[in-house]
Structure 1
Amino acid sequence: MKDKDMNYKDAAAGPAVELYDFRRPDTISKEHERILGIFAGNFARYMVGTLSTQLRGMTRIGVESVREMEYQQFMHELPAHSLMVVCAVPPLDGKILFTLDPHISLALVDQLLGGPGEADGPARELTEIEMVLLRQVVKRLLLNLRETLENIIKVEPEIEQFEANTAYVQLVSSTVQVVSVLFKISLSKNSGHFRMVLPYQVMKTLLPLLQEHFWLRSKSSSSDRVKSSPEMRRLAANIPVEISVQLGAAEIALSDLLNLAAGDYIVLKSGRHDELPIYVAGRKYLWGRLGRCGEAYAVAVTRWDDTLAEESAAQAAAATAANDGAG
């Protein structure tokens, strides 16, 4: 049959053919990516407690992506002047690389030294003093890595290389497959990325252990999971929480607002002995009355907010209905 007689339309209607690149074979499955994502999420929760305590301010850390790529591609995407930390994790084979974007590195240093955590200038190399401060931060984060893995395998992470120049670090050869876990760190005034790079040599030992651990944990009863709550409370105990009290509110005409001057009074709707709402992280949780404690103003807590009880009752009712439906 001649080429012109072939029915290309029928061939095109079939399933799409996906090209396989033999130079970049996939070494982990989607299930493995999911397991690594769970592991990274647990690691992030430990890091939140450590950084919030160390910086004395609210810190948020989330997992943005888990990607497999060649090491040379990872290095190509890395911002200039990134902090590079190569760590051994015995008894696991191979080494893990951690990187920190330059702006978030400078913001961390600024907040460690009592500043607001700003880093508005251009990216630059870190000074020796900044490197010393960040090394202490990384050491604590490595303790978090050990805590994350302690129920899976006992590891002792050690810093082997600590550099502020990406050209000085060669974790593996350029064509070796690695998994890059991208975390986003949000401080009070700045945000940036923190990366954990796992080469194939580490993954081939770690992945089977993670897979077995999370499979067994998914089979455990809810009572076993409740036992971990005291540990979670201990980790969360030192996280600072912002509390504010609303003294009152008022409504005035726009013309009166425009004519306000120093010395004018705004009459609030609340009285001297009325209960005042107390907000925790921007949400109303409690009520109290204004008073004094020594030379400072204070608020005596009187009760929990009623909406919390209503929400708890609604959640309990929904859970009961779900259980009845399942039965």
Structure 2
Amino acid sequence: MAVLSPETPHVHYDFRRPTTLAREQSRALELAFETFGRQWGTQLTSKTRVRAQVSFESVAINTYDDYTRILPPTTVMLLIGLEASASEARGVLQFPAPAGLAWISRMLGGAEQSGDGAPAPLPERGYTPVEQAIVRRLLEDTVDDLRYSFGAQLPGKVAFDSIQHNSQFAQAAAPADLMIVATFRVTVGERCDTATVALPADAILPGLVAPPAEQSTDDTGLRAQLPAVPVQLAVQLAPLPVTAGRVISLAVGDVIRLPHPSHRPLDVVVDGVPIARASAGASGSRRACVVIDTEENAR
């Protein structure tokens, strides 16, 4: 058992701003980010002209301050404007600066390897205006893929904003703003890097839960279609329990004595459940029955 000492700091938890995701929310986000990863990999393959794959790894919810703490001081952060965000927070597509330089080299027909076959060293620095323009062209369709992957979960416009290189000064959101952070493994040719996507929680989470009105509409539609479902209706006598041996020994001419009294109405049955009683009769040249009583059944 852990004992709190007087020196133990107290942490205030705001239940209106949860720091964990429900199972249903996590699953919906995983599906959306997996779709985005496939789309991004396809874009990189077509533009760098080398086989690329983007694999989704994990998703979590963190404050923006906690998210930027795990990023290197110098990196590439593509800021994304989200119309659905109630605050001024923006989304972030982040990847290492050397990775972007390697993609640019591939895009322009260069190679990642030096003369001896070893990977060419790439600097950890911010991009020049020309490099920023090329990266913007390289990833502009990726922003559209993000909007496509989330569909109705991310309403409104999603637009490319700007490129930042210092994670501590990017100011995509307030330090306490909650962000949905997804981690990806990006493989382009022989190079493998880790990238992240961070989206404001207030723009994503509301779309992950269907509103009550939609649930009510679906339920009404189900009730409207239920009367048209076909079922098997039977009119039968009271059943007679017998042994398997008696059934095997049946022969032509045997008389089976039924437990159904002659004055008792027949049972109207649906799927083995009695729902009414009826009296035998005829309708023209066909046998028929007249319902004389109905009954409620809990099943």
C-alpha distance in 1, partners of 2:208/2:67? 21
Aligned to 1:88: 81
Aligned to 1:22: 13
Aligned to 1:171: 172
Aligned to 2:94: 99
3-state secondary structure, aligned to 1:82: strand
In the alignment, is the contact (CA less than 8 A) between 1:79 and 1:102 conserved in 2? Answer: no
Assess, with a 3 A threshold, how the Cα gap between structure 1 residues 150 and 25 changes in structure 2: closer, same or farther. Answer: closer
In the alignment, is the contact (CA less than 8 A) between 1:106 and 1:119 conserved in 2? Answer: no
Residue by residue over 1:89-109, the C-alpha shift from the partner in whole angstroms, topping out at 9 and shown as x without a partner, is 334545311112122111111
Gaps of 5+ in 1: 1-7, 12-18, 217-327
3-state secondary structure, aligned to 2:195: strand
1:1-327 equivalence runs, <5 A: 22=13, 25-94=18-87, 95-117=90-112, 120-150=121-151, 155-208=156-209
**Higher strand proportion, which one?**
2
2:189 maps to amino acid: S
In the alignment, is the contact (CA less than 8 A) between 1:83 and 1:163 conserved in 2? Answer: yes
C-alpha distance in 2, partners of 1:180/1:101? 16
C-alpha distance in 2, partners of 1:209/1:48? 30
3-state secondary structure, aligned to 1:131: helix
**What is the CA-CA distance between 1:159 and the residue it aligns to?**
1.8
C-alpha distance in 2, partners of 1:183/1:176? 22
**What is the CA-CA distance between 1:74 and the residue it aligns to?**
1.1
Aligned to 2:223: none
**What is the CA-CA distance between 1:50 and the residue it aligns to?**
1.2
**TM-score normalised by the chain length of structure 2:** 0.58
In the alignment, is the contact (CA less than 8 A) between 2:153 and 2:207 conserved in 1? Answer: no
1:129 maps to amino acid: V
1:34 maps to amino acid: R
> How much is the aligned-residue C-alpha RMSD, in angstroms?
3.1
1:72 maps to amino acid: D
C-alpha distance in 2, partners of 1:81/1:209? 40
In the alignment, is the contact (CA less than 8 A) between 1:69 and 1:180 conserved in 2? Answer: yes
In the alignment, is the contact (CA less than 8 A) between 1:92 and 1:205 conserved in 2? Answer: no
C-alpha distance in 1, partners of 2:187/2:91? 23
In the alignment, is the contact (CA less than 8 A) between 2:101 and 2:122 conserved in 1? Answer: no
**What is the CA-CA distance between 1:151 and the residue it aligns to?**
6.2
C-alpha distance in 1, partners of 2:147/2:209? 18
**What is the CA-CA distance between 1:209 and the residue it aligns to?**
6.0
1:54 maps to amino acid: K
3-state secondary structure, aligned to 1:98: strand
**What is the CA-CA distance between 1:73 and the residue it aligns to?**
1.5
Residue by residue over 1:186-232, the C-alpha shift from the partner in whole angstroms, topping out at 9 and shown as x without a partner, is 0113111221102222123332369x9xxx9xxxxxxxxxxxxxxxx
3-state secondary structure, aligned to 2:209: helix
In the alignment, is the contact (CA less than 8 A) between 1:85 and 1:97 conserved in 2? Answer: yes
C-alpha distance in 2, partners of 1:84/1:153? 20
**What is the CA-CA distance between 1:123 and the residue it aligns to?**
1.4
Assess, with a 3 A threshold, how the Cα gap between structure 1 residues 116 and 208 changes in structure 2: closer, same or farther. Answer: farther
**TM-score normalised by the chain length of structure 1:** 0.53
C-alpha distance in 2, partners of 1:151/1:176? 22
Gaps of 5+ in 2: 3-9, 113-118, 219-299
3-state secondary structure, aligned to 1:164: strand
**Equivalent pairs, count:** 198
Percent sequence identity over aligned pairs: 19
1:168 maps to amino acid: F
**What is the CA-CA distance between 1:166 and the residue it aligns to?**
2.3
C-alpha distance in 1, partners of 2:180/2:150? 18
